[in-house]
């Protein structure tokens, strides 16, 4: 029996579903018989792209809309079994430059989705993609979910605030919410237009263009790089596991890779 057999016939909403992680979840869910709705605002600086959905376009419902729009969200959450809220401002660099925009999307947007589900679909399971950025400066390794919060960016602060929203709605309203602190994702369909996020894919682009891959310092700092399809499988499996309680979970490969080793691997594998 497939690990995703109970996915068949489920109604799944993926906000931000035209981005890298959202589209990976969409492809996986469609392959396993789910009825998938994508809600995406296709903001130009981010990863939302119709190309990411081309192979499954005829099998999904696509809604052009923003998670900050209450009426659009209200309609979108009706009768959904799972709600993956992947929509976000995703650049920690931009969050420091435009903190109010980050607040608007990464806090108000998620609060809008939570309220819509509280009022119109309280039985849905909600999945929130948090980030390693909530930890900030690392004090101990490996990093557990109990590590102190040392946020070094507005992005990290607002991701942590988002977590608190989802935890509150679980405690106050009995809603099932799952929170995943994602490491460093990479893989197919990640945007490569700029270097503000997705360092692996950005280095792949530079290697393909024959540009130098520069490492500052000794490059020995370790990061957990996690393949997007592994992320999608983990998140969907967790959402389908009805006996998995509400909680906050780190989500990565579990393997630390030195930055310079990541760069060397790209240089060796990507023709430039």
- DSSP string computed for 100-164: HHHHIIIIIIHHHHHHHHHHH-TTSEEEEEEEGGGTBS--SSSPPTTSPPB--SHHHHHHHHHHH
Span 183-192, average pLDDT: 89
Quick one: DSSP state of residue 21?
A: H
Span 115-136, average pLDDT: 96
Backbone φ and ψ for 247, nearest 5 degrees, come out as 180, 175
Q: How confident is the model at residue 196 (pLDDT cuts 50, 70, 90)?
A: confident
Picking from 243, 99, 232, the residue whose alpha carbon sits closest to that of residue 157 is: 99
Residue 125 token pair: 């399971």
Helix, strand or coil, per DSSP, at residue 42: coil
Check whether 47 has a pLDDT greater than 80. Answer: no
Q: What is the pLDDT of residue 193?
A: 77
Q: Which residues contact 109 (CB under 8 A, 6 or more apart)?
A: 66, 67, 68, 85, 87, 88
Span 153-180, average pLDDT: 96
pLDDT in tens, 203-244: 999 999 999 988 888 989 888 999 999 999 999 999 999 888
pTM of the model: 0.94
Span 186-197, average pLDDT: 82
Our CA angle for 145, 91, 196, nearest 5°, is 120
Greatest alpha-carbon pair distance for the chain in Å reads 54
Picking from 136, 130, 135, 131, the residue whose alpha carbon sits closest to that of residue 177 is: 130
Cα-Cα end-to-end distance for the chain: 43
List the beta strands (DSSP E) in the chain: 11-15, 35-40, 60-64, 82-85, 125-131, 177-182, 184-186, 222-223, 225-227, 247-251, 257-258
Using CB atoms within 10 A of its CB, is residue 97 exposed (0-12), middle (13-18) or buried (19+)?
Answer: exposed
pLDDT in tens, 77-104: 999 999 999 999 888 888 899 999 999 9
Check whether 272 has a pLDDT greater than 70. Answer: no
Residue 3 token pair: 């690990």
Q: Which residue has the higher pLDDT, 182 or 271?
A: 182
Q: Which residues contact 134 (CB under 8 A, 6 or more apart)?
A: 149, 151, 156, 159, 160, 163, 181
């Amino acid at each position: 029996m497939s690990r995703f057999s109970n996915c068949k016939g489920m109604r799944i909403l993926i906000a931000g579903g035209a981005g890298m992680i959202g589209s990976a979840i969409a492809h996986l869910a469609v392959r396993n018989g789910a009825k998938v709705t994508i809600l995406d605002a296709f903001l130009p600086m981010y990863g939302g792209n119709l190309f990411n959905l081309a192979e499954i376009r005829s099998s999904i419902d696509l809604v052009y809309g923003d998670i900050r729009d209450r009426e659009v969200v209200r309609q979108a959450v009706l009768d959904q079994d799972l709600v993956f809220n992947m929509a976000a401002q995703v650049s920690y660099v931009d969050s420091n430059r435009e903190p109010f925009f980050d607040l608007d999307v990464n806090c108000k947007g998620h609060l809008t989705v939570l309220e819509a589900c509280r009022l119109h679909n309280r039985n849905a399971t909600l999945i929130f993609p948090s980030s390693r950025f909530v930890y900030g400066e690392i004090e101990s390794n490996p990093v557990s979910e109990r590590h102190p919060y040392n946020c070094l960016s507005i992005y990290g602060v607002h991701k942590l605030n988002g977590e608190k929203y989802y935890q509150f709605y679980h405690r106050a309203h009995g809603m099932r919410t799952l929170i995943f602190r994602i490491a460093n994702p990479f893989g197919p369909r990640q945007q490569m237009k700029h270097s503000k996020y997705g360092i692996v894919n950005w280095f792949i682009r530079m290697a393909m263009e024959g540009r130098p891959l520069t490492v500052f310092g000794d490059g020995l700092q370790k990061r957990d790089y996690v393949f997007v399809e592994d992320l999608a499988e983990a998140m969907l499996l967790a959402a389908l596991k009805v006996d998995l309680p509400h909680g906050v979970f780190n989500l990565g490969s579990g393997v630390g890779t030195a930055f310079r080793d990541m760069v060397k691997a790209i240089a060796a594998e990507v023709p430039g």
